[in-house]
Structures are given as C-alpha cells and as structure tokens.
Amino acid sequence: MTRTITLAAALSLSAGAAHAQELRYANWAAPMHTITASQIDPMAEALSTGTGGAVTLRAYHGGELGAGPQDQFVRVVQGTADLGWGLPGYTSSQFPLTMMLEAPGALPLDEPVHAAFRRAADAVEGEFPMTEVLSFWGSEPNILMMRDREIRAPGDLAGLKIRVAGAIAADAVAALGATPVQIPMTQVYNGLQTGLIDGLVSGGSVLQDFRLDAARQSDAVTVHDLQGEEAAAFDAAMAEVTEAYVARVGGAEVLARMRGE
C-alpha cells in the first residue's frame, strides 16, 4: 500500500487579511490525476470560501514548479511552492520511520493509515522539518500489473524487472527473485512500452491516472490465491522483509505505537 502526504510550508492565513494571498500548490502529476478532484479542487474552494476570498489556491499541474515527484518535499521547504503532495517512497531515506507503514503486514489492510500515522505523529515529525503535514493517507492495496505476461505464483517473478517506489517495495520484490527498478510513475508508460520494465507494483488507480492500460499488451492483472506451502513461503519472505527493515531503522517502538500496541 502506498502512503501519500500533503505538505505545507509554514503559513499564516487570516480571513481578515488586507491583501489577497494566492498559495501555490505543486502537483507533479497531470491535471486529470485523481488528486485534483479529490483534494486540490476541494481545498481551493474551502480556502476561498473560508477566508471570504482573501486566500486562494492556484495549482501548478504537470510539474510546472519542477518536474517529477522526487523533489516535492524540497520544493515546499525552499518556498518554490506553498503546498505540495508526494509519496515518501520516492525519497525513502528522508522518511525511514514513516516508511514502516508500507511494510508488508505492518497494518491490517482495513486499517486506516491516517489513524496509524496520528498515533505516532510526534515520533516521526522530525522527518518533516520546516513543514506542516496537512494530510496523510494510503492508496488502495497494491496489485501487480504486467506488460505482457501473467503471474500465477511468486516464482514466476524470478528474473523480471519490476518497477517499485521506495526501499521496502524494492526489498519485497527482490525477496521474490525479481529485479526492482526505481523510476517515477511519470516514466512507467514509456518503460512498459520499451521493455525497460516487465511490470510494476502499485495501486490500481494508476491505470487511469497515468494511462497505463494503453501501454500494457495484455490484461495481465491476475488474482491468484496462494495455498499451502506456496502461501507459507510467501508470508515468510514478506515477514523477513518487514523485520529486517524495522531493525535497520530502529523503529520497533514507533511501529508498535502506529499499531496501537
């Protein structure tokens, strides 16, 4: 599951401001991305209504304030944008404790990630210097999307190049015998078309948001329930990935708080 954050630089907003203030929102994705209708547009309307028009929000789509998602945090910190959204996985080293929320089995699939984040917010706030975290949420569960083949068992991934975002996803894919490839989602379409990658792990919404359906050469999104020894081997491999990552970042106590333990 991918975790997503909305960040804001330190702002002082006043409904009675003498001069109108326009906030810059950096959206590295195209304007038709889900984030526009679900967050950016409602936020813009709420700001304008709540301040009587004294504060407005202007979205800069498609990387107008800087290309790619990797530098979103830096753009807000440096003042290129007042607000922006991004995925911690693109810069895993900046958010080592927060990234534990992506670890396999860290939370039940039906556990709201924003609640887990709030339970340990004070323990991870140091990973977000000079900013305020306005929102934090998780995508739908990740699925495996392939260019031109079906994957019916973990062993089918051996030797394939799978696009991932973040250190934990890379560890998980590698544990299954595949080669993790770290490229931005904006480059996945071309990666699938050219064969740079054989597939990717992400939430299914990217099929529409980034037009990936057009790049795949088959409907190779397969649901396959693992059984018996196959399931046990998979679960054991993923448990090792999570245990190793938590130990590496010294995050056992923080993860326990995230889980409400």
Question: Which amino acid, one-letter code, is at 108?
Answer: P
Q: Once rounded to an integer, what is the mean pLDDT over residues 195-199?
A: 93
Provide the pLDDT confidence category of residue 15 given band limits of 50, 70 and 90. Answer: very low
Name the percent of the chain lying above pLDDT 90. Answer: 57
- Percentage of the chain beyond pLDDT 70 is 88
Distance in angstroms (rounded) separating the CA atoms of residues 76 and 258: 26
| Per-residue pLDDT at 16 | 44
Rounded Cα distance, 125 and 5, in Å? 13
Band (55; pLDDT cuts 50, 70, 90): very high
Cβ-contact 207, 185 below 8 angstroms: no
**Rounded CA gap, 208 and 43, in Å?**
23
User: Residue with structure tokens 């910190």?
Assistant: 77
Q: For residue 186, is pLDDT > 90?
A: no
Mean pLDDT for 36-46 is 95
* 250 within 8 A of 96, measured Cβ to Cβ: no
Secondary structure, 3-state, 120-135: CHHHHHHHCCCEEEEE
The pLDDT score that the predictor gives to residue 211 is: 77
* Token pair listed for 39: 């967050």
Q: What is the DSSP string of the chain?
A: --EEEEEEE-----TT-SS-EEEEEE--S-TTSHHIIIIIHHHHHHHHHHTTTSEEEEEE-TTTTSSSSTTHHHHHHTTS-SEEEE-GGGGGGG-TTGGGGGSTTSS-TTS-HHHHHHHTHHHHGGGSTTEEEEEEEE-SPEEEEESS----SGGGGTT-EEEE-SHHHHHHHHHTT-EEEE--GGGHHHHHHHTS-SEEEEETTHHHHTTGGGT-SS---------HHHHHHHHHHHHHHHHHHHHHHT-HHHHHHHTT-
**pLDDT one-digit tens code per residue, 58-114:** 999 999 999 888 899 999 999 999 999 988 988 899 999 999 999 999 998 888 899
pLDDT category of residue 1 using cuts at 50, 70 and 90: low
Cα separation, 43 vs 57, in Å, equals 8
Q: What is the set of domains in the chain, with CATH numbers? A: 3-138 (3.40.190.170), 142-240 (3.40.190.10)
Q: Is the pLDDT of residue 147 over 90?
A: no
Closest Cα to residue 34, out of 242, 203, 156? 203
Q: Could you give the CA distance from residue 178 to residue 169 in angstroms, rounded to a whole number? A: 11
Q: Is 194 exposed, middle or buried (0-12, 13-18, 19+ CB in 10 A)?
A: exposed
Q: For the residues 169-193, what does the mean pLDDT come to?
A: 92
